[in-house]
Amino acid sequence: MTLDRFYPIFDHADWLRRMLPLGVKLVQLRIKDQPDAVLRAEIATAQALCRDHGAVLVVNDYWQVAIDAGCDWIHLGQEDLDDADLPAIRKAGLKLGVSTHDDDELERVLAMDPDYVALGPVYPTILKKMKWHQQGLPRVTEWKRRVGDIPLVGIGGMSVERAPGVFQAGADIVSVVTDITLNPDPEGRVRQWIEVTR
């Protein structure tokens, strides 16, 4: 299946309630620092919402909960990879997306045969303190050359205005967080994103 080119990331299932009816077809749930019961309830809710709207849910980090909940996709950061049981993830039939920031990480990830590779931050981001400064568009082009047919996700400092250039540079998918969640009109912004990515 081909993944949608617009890939928002939210930290709560309530966001999915608001955004999925607008036509979002690929979404990541990235929950941090919640007790296990809350985590499981959120992922189950998100999964049900995505099924109702024909959308793909990607669960960030919590691969065991994703397996338990019968999810289809997980996303792992580099730190998450150290603790993840990749054979168990594959055995459960989960598809895997992974973050990369430099050559060593990309080599490591390509050896895992991922279902998508994310490169970030393409632009400066306010979301996380990172040791990587912006990667820039030439890096997106280089990564696409190296990953070949694997979908490439550009993330970090993304906006509706920047998206066309990121696609032109070689990204298959653009992922976005604060451009929506900090926007005074998140619904309006999602509509703009859908327009620019389809």
* Candidate list 5, 95, 99, 139, residue with the active-site label: 99
Using left for φ > 0, alpha for ψ between -120 and 50, and beta otherwise, residue 148 falls in left
What per-residue confidence (pLDDT) applies to 130?
60
Residue 105 has pLDDT above 90, yes or no: yes
- Among the listed residues 25, 30, 40, 146, the single catalytic one is 30
* Structural domain includes residue 74: yes
Active-site position among 17, 18, 51, 128? 128
Q: Give the residues across from 75 on adjacent strands.
A: 60, 97
DSSP state, 70?
A: T
The predicted pLDDT at position 198 comes to: 92
Query: Which residue range forms the structural domain that includes residue 105?
Result: 6-197
Active site residue 128: yes
Q: Is residue 1 part of a domain?
A: no
Q: Is 65 within a domain? A: yes
pTM of the model: 0.96
The larger pLDDT score, comparing residue 87 to residue 124, is at 87
pLDDT tens-place string over residues 173-184: 999 999 999 999
Instruction: Compute the distance between CA of residue 36 and CA of residue 26 in angstroms, rounded to an integer.
Output: 24
175: nearest Cα among 189, 187, 163: 163
Residue 1 has pLDDT above 80, yes or no: no
> Is 30 noted as a catalytic residue in this protein?
yes
Q: How many domains does the chain have?
A: 1
45-94 confidence digits (pLDDT tens): 999 999 999 999 999 999 999 999 999 999 999 999 999 999 999 999 99
Check residue 128 and give its pLDDT: 60
CATH number, position 20: 3.20.20.70
User: Is there a cis peptide before residue 151, judged by omega within 30 degrees of 0?
Assistant: no
Residue 122 has pLDDT above 80, yes or no: yes
In a domain? residue 166: yes
